Amino acid sequence: MSATEQNNTLSETQAAQQKAMLMRLARVEGQVRGIQAMIKRGETCEAIAQQFSASRSALDKAYRMMLTCLIEETLLEPGQNPADAIEQVRKIFIKYT
């Protein structure tokens, strides 16, 4: 695969990842709006807590998707020394998790 073909593939992959993250964040946004509505309606704390938990889980999944994207970018960087790539990924995990 040529460098141009690889860059095009990466761009397509990144676009798909970006779309998936935006869709997931839109879902989280809807869940948060739902929580606000539940509070305004005076629903039980347990029901609200359940929705908070679902929203946090969805946001955590979006975050993990973003970390995966960041790690892929690091590992697939052209001319990257494998040992340097592994060190960068290690630093990413330490910094963001």
Domain ranges of the chain: 3-96
Classified as helix, coil or strand, 28 is helix
Q: Give residue-wise pLDDT tens across range 28-52.
A: 999 999 999 999 999 999 999 999 9
- Tell me the mean pLDDT in the region 75-81: 83
Inter-axis angle of helices 82-96 and 45-75, to 10 degrees?
160
**pLDDT at 26 (0 to 100):** 95
- Tell me the mean pLDDT in the region 41-64: 94
**Which residue type sits at 2?**
S
Place 1 in a pLDDT band, splitting at 50, 70 and 90. very low
The CATH fold of domain 3-96: Methane Monooxygenase Hydroxylase; Chain G, domain 1 (1.20.58)
